[in-house]
Amino acid sequence: MLNVVLVEPEIPNNTGNIGRLCVGTESRLHLIHPFGFVINDKNLKRSGLDYWVHLDVTEYQNAEEWIEQIPDQSRVFLMSSHSDKSYLENEFQDGDWLVFGKESVGLSKEFMARFENHLTIPMSPFIRSFNIANSVAFVVGEAKRQIGLKKFNH
């Protein structure tokens, strides 16, 4: 099972869509406070709350609380438009942690410095970044594809 981590999410529609994606892909969702919305917000309901009861979701008061329970920090992958390595070049494993920053500014330099694995999603120079829900879908899709191939080939 993959672990999707949203650090300080700001937009409820995105978090709702990502929650729905996690239910559909049997991934766990980890949410690190503070949020830019209330978890029972009507926008969150519209985006994915009817699926929320099926979601394996954990909330953390801060990044330290989340980091304390990671069994292997070498399997944490931070997504950043500032990275040089594409997520398509990475070898994912079941149980990996896929970490996405807040919509407005991404992950802070301090947060990025805590982990060694930084990945990016290749994109044209005409945009600054993809929508976070789309970004999560890209990366989870590729990771699930790789994990499925490994299971099939063994």
Q: Which helix (H) or strand (E) holds 60?
A: strand 57-60
pLDDT digits (tens, 9 = 90+) for 3-15: 999 999 998 889 9
Handedness of CA 24, 55, 113, 82 (dihedral sign): positive
The residue count for the chain: 154
pLDDT digits (tens, 9 = 90+) for 42-55: 656 565 567 778 88
Whole-model pTM: value is 0.91
Handedness of CA 133, 78, 32, 92 (dihedral sign): positive
Strand partners for 29: 4, 57
**Residue 54 confidence (pLDDT):** 87
User: Token pair for residue 19?
Assistant: 């929650």
